[in-house]
Amino acid sequence: MGERRSDTAELRTALLRMRRATGLPVAFGGLLDERPRAPLRIGELSGTSSEVLRGLAIRPGGGLGGRAMALARPCAVTDYPEARHISHEYDEPVAAEGLRSVLAVPVVVRRHVRAVLYGALRTPQPLGDRVLDAAVAAARDMEQALVVRDEARRGADPVSGTGGVRGPGGAGGMGGGPGAWEAVREAHGELRALAPHIADPEVRDRLLAACGRLASAAGGAVPGGAPGGMPGAAPGGAPVVLAPREVDVLAAVATGATNAEAARRLGLRPETVKGYLRSAMRRLGAHTRLEAVVAARRAGLLP
């Protein structure tokens, strides 16, 4: 049940992000039931004028969203009731909400559709590439958030794909199994979130130094220098230096936190968190949140 609530929170965040980025006045979406051949059920609405779409069960292949599920790619129509390449069993609720131009973007995690994001206009007009690109970006953000959260739930190490992490003591890594190592990662994230709130600079530096020792325990590069920066080594041997706040954000993301959750922990605005995350990804040569976490762990910047 907790996992479902977490996925619902990610869906809600993705829909709000998509509305802001695309300018579409209406967004809605649903999660795919994990049972075989189960439908996707619309559960989140944003900008709608009624509740008519809530609870609607979308079968794979049915309507626009079902087509996006079946093809595992974005689909769009300029005028929903007149579209010829989709089935029309959902025309009544779509018409009741007054929707005409609609897009549907699947959220695909490890080749499985986990959710579908819809955006819509109440007038029949083409949706340009900018709108489609922004909608796909929102779906990709949700995809990466779900991947990181899934890894955190399983206690798996996304670098090796196994439950344990090679530590300084040998192949077995930290005693107590993957669950114990995941607890270390959570503690590391909490300590990094706490550090900026400590007024005493000596105590703050000592706490950050302890965080560095936890990070280097994974067998990566040993951070050196002052706490003002966090140098490490990328897989190719190139040095990596992240700002303290970039490490703070990655530490939160590594535990499965969304941008909004990381912002609450760190006392920052979500947009500021996003900026630090983008900067860290650029420095690490990563294209996604998960790749950034993996690269930071390999560089010895995160446990």
Could you report the per-residue pLDDT of 105-138, keeping only the tens digit for each?
Answer: 999 888 889 999 999 999 999 998 889 888 988 9
Give the number of domains in the chain.
2
Q: Is residue 163 part of a domain?
A: no
15 and 130: one domain?
yes
pLDDT of residue 155: 55
The pTM (predicted TM-score) of the whole model is 0.55
Do 140 and 2 share a structural domain? yes
> Does one domain contain both 144 and 256?
no
Q: Is residue 91 part of a domain?
A: yes
**Domain membership flag for residue 194:** no
What percentage of the chain carries pLDDT values higher than 90?
Answer: 39
Q: Domain holding 9: CATH number?
A: 3.30.450.40
**Concatenated DSSP letters of the chain:** -HHHHHHHHHHHHHHHHHHHHH--SEEEEEEEPSSTTPPEEEEEEES-SSSTTTT-EE-TTSHHHHHHHHHTS-EEESSGGG-SSS--TTHHHHHHHT--EEEEEEEEETTEEEEEEEEEESS--PPPHHHHHHHHHHHHHHHHHHHHHHHHHHT-BTTTTBS---BTTBTT-STTHHHHHHHHHHHHHHHHHHGGG---HHHHHHHHHHHHHHHHTTSSPPP-S-TT-EEEE-TTS-EEEE-HHHHHHHHHHHTT--HHHHHHHHT--HHHHHHHHHHHHHHHT-SSHHHHHHHHHHTTS--
Taking only the tens place, the pLDDT of each residue in 39-73 is: 899 999 999 999 999 999 999 999 999 999 999 88
Residue 163 has pLDDT above 60, yes or no: no
pLDDT over 90 (residue 295): no
- Say whether pLDDT at 230 is over 90: no
- Is the pLDDT at 252 greater than 70? The verdict is yes
- 275 occurs within a structural domain: yes
Higher pLDDT, 289 or 251: 251
Of the residues 113, 133, 154, the one at which a domain ends: 154
Same domain membership, residue 144 and residue 31: yes
Task: State which of 135, 154, 173 marks the end of a domain.
Answer: 154
Determine, yes or no, domain membership for 99: yes
Which residues form the domain of 99? 1-154
Structural domain includes residue 176: no
The answer to whether position 220 is within a domain reads: no
Q: Evaluate whether residue 174 is within a structural domain.
A: no
Query: What does the pLDDT look like over 174-221, one tens digit per residue?
Result: 444 445 566 777 788 788 888 888 888 888 888 888 888 777 765 443
